[in-house]
């Protein structure tokens, strides 16, 4: 089979990020990417208000009686804090605020702005060889099977950009093959289509996320594709050769997948 050396960008974050937002789905409506960005603070205001008492009156976000939550989150995002199982109990309110307020969206925007600026600069490389709570599987599965996870608007913006410039998006998700139909339906309902590959975990695979995702990237590379970029909300989306020419880490203080 002859295959062109086509630039692709692995976009593993979409499903996971959508899932991570969607715990709050009843309050966050995503009519359009643009409107959602403006509306998100208003939409979640009552919930934020409800969370406020959890934060204490000192203004120190959840730092009393435990780790300082902003420092913990920085450690998570910088991959200094590893193999964590749950958000520290005293940080529930802090993380709730972070996710439902504008902060998570602002942090995501910075990442996606960088990814889009990178895509904008790709044509040069295109002609120069490219420079060479405890996790509950039962309830989370039930949620996945609803197929209602909202797309992260920033990710959608990048996705459309990739299609526009001819980069072929590939999703590599830890979801299992039996969830293909619901995942495809969910993505389409959120305006996401036209990907090259949607790779789900095959039955019987019990290795780590890093070994699974890097092996799938290797298959793409071996098939002649150039991985120009790789974006994910988990470090296990990004680590492991071949990583791709550039990686982007989306924020996710909700869970850790090794
Ligand atoms: C996990 O979720 C299911 C379905 O909601 C529930 O029945 C079960 O008790 C939960 N398990 C734990 C350990 O919380
Ligand atoms: C997906 O990627 C592989 C390379 O890993 C490629 O061989 C295959 O043709 C691609 N497309 C589909 C639809 O699977």
How does pLDDT run across 210-229, given as a tens digit for each residue? 999 999 999 999 999 999 99
Whether 239 is covered by a domain: the verdict is yes
How far apart (Å, rounded) are the C-alpha atoms in residues 106 and 46?
20
Q: Which domain holds residue 82?
A: 21-100
Instruction: List the CATH number of the domain containing 232.
Output: 3.40.50.1000
Q: How far is the CA of 202 from the centre of ligand 2 (A)?
A: 14
Residue 121 in contact with residue 167, Cβ under 8 Å?
no
201 pairs with which residues across the strands?
A: 176
Q: How far is the CA of 232 from the centre of ligand 1 (A)?
A: 28
Whether 138 is covered by a domain: the verdict is no
Position 18 scores a pLDDT of 37
Q: How far is the CA of 108 from the centre of ligand 1 (A)?
A: 31
**220 CB near ligand 2 (under 6 Å):** yes
Is-above-0.85 flag for pTM?
Answer: no
Q: How far is the CA of 144 from the centre of ligand 1 (A)?
A: 15
Q: In terms of domains, do 172 and 158 share one?
A: yes
**138 CB near ligand 1 (under 6 Å):** yes
Quickly state the pLDDT bin for 240 (edges 50, 70, 90): very high
Residue 171 in contact with residue 193, Cβ under 8 Å?
no
**Final residue before a domain boundary, out of 100, 125, 159:** 100
DSSP 128: T
Q: In terms of domains, do 154 and 229 share one?
A: yes
Residue with the bigger pLDDT between 81 and 35: it is 81
pLDDT digits 0-9 by tens, 50-97:
555 444 434 444 455 688 999 999 999 999 999 999 999 999 999 999
Q: In terms of domains, do 194 and 236 share one?
A: yes
Position 135 scores a pLDDT of 74
Whether 49 is covered by a domain: the verdict is yes
**Final residue before a domain boundary, out of 43, 74, 100:** 100
Q: In terms of domains, do 13 and 68 share one?
A: no
pLDDT digits 0-9 by tens, 131-173:
447 777 888 888 899 998 999 999 999 999 999 988 999 999 9
Whether 12 is covered by a domain: the verdict is yes
List C-alpha distances in Å: 121 to 2, 10, 124, 129, 158.
28, 17, 6, 14, 14
Task: Tell me which of 136, 137, 140, 145 to substitute to probe ligand 1's pocket, judged by most ligand atoms within 8 Å of the beta carbon.
Answer: 136
**202 CB near ligand 1 (under 6 Å):** no
Sheet with 7-11, side-by-side order of all strands: 197-201, 168-176, 7-11, 226-232, 247-249
Q: In terms of domains, do 85 and 173 share one?
A: no
Burial class (CB in 10 A: 0-12, 13-18, 19+), 40: buried
Q: Could you tell me how many residues make up the chain? A: 258
Residue with the bigger pLDDT between 165 and 183: it is 183
Q: In terms of domains, do 28 and 12 share one?
A: no
Q: How far is the CA of 111 from the centre of ligand 2 (A)?
A: 28
Q: In terms of domains, do 52 and 96 share one?
A: yes
Alpha helices by DSSP H, 23-130? 33-51, 69-77, 92-100, 103-120, 122-126
Q: In terms of domains, do 14 and 41 share one?
A: no
**Final residue before a domain boundary, out of 40, 68, 100:** 100
Task: Tell me which of 197, 202, 217 to substitute to probe ligand 2's pocket, judged by most ligand atoms within 8 Å of the beta carbon.
Answer: 197
How far apart (Å, rounded) are the C-alpha atoms in residues 119 and 126?
10
Q: In terms of domains, do 215 and 165 share one?
A: yes
Q: Among all chains, which residue has been given the structure tokens 């019987």?
A: 204
Domain total in the chain: 2
Whether 173 is covered by a domain: the verdict is yes
List C-alpha distances in Å: 227 to 177, 250, 257.
23, 18, 22
Whether 36 is covered by a domain: the verdict is yes
Whether 123 is covered by a domain: the verdict is no
Residue 73 in contact with residue 98, Cβ under 8 Å?
yes
Token output for 146: 């609803």
Q: In terms of domains, do 92 and 69 share one?
A: yes
Alpha helices by DSSP H, the chain? 13-22, 33-51, 69-77, 92-100, 103-120, 122-126, 137-146, 153-165, 180-189, 209-222, 235-238
Mean pLDDT of the chain: 79
Q: Whose CA is nearest to atom 5 of ligand 1?
A: 139
Q: In terms of domains, do 217 and 161 share one?
A: yes
Query: Nearest-5° angle of CA 241, CA 75, CA 111?
Result: 60
Whether 110 is covered by a domain: the verdict is no
Q: In terms of domains, do 11 and 48 share one?
A: no
Could you tell me which of 9, 233, 15 has the C-alpha nearest to residue 104?
Answer: 233
């Amino acid at each position: 089979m002859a295959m062109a050396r086509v630039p692709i960008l692995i976009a593993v974050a979409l499903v996971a990020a959508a899932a991570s937002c969607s715990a709050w789905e009843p309050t966050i409506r995503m009519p359009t990417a643009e409107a959602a960005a403006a509306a998100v603070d208003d939409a979640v205001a009552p919930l934020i208000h409800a969370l406020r008492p959890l934060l204490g009156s000192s203004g120190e976000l959840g730092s009393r009686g435990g780790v300082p939550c902003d420092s913990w989150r920085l450690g998570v995002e910088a991959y200094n804090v590893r193999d964590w199982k749950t958000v520290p109990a005293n940080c529930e309110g802090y993380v709730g605020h972070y996710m439902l307020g504008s902060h998570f969206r602002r942090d995501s925007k910075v990442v996606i702005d960088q990814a889009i600026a990178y895509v904008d600069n790709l044509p040069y490389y295109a002609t120069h060889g490219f420079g060479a709570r405890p996790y509950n599987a039962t309830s989370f599965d039930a949620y996945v099977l609803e197929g209602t996870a909202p797309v992260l608007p920033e990710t959608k913006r990048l996705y459309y950009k990739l299609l526009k410039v001819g980069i072929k998006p590939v999703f590599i998700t830890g979801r299992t093959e039996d969830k293909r139909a619901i995942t495809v339906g969910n993505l389409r309902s959120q305006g996401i289509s036209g990907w090259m590959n949607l790779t789900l975990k095959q039955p019987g695979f019990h290795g780590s996320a890093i070994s699974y995702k890097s092996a799938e990237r290797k298959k793409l590379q071996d098939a002649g594709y150039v991985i120009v970029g790789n974006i994910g909300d988990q470090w296990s989306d990004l680590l492991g050769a071949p990583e791709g020419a550039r990686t982007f880490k989306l924020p996710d203080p909700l869970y850790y997948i090794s």
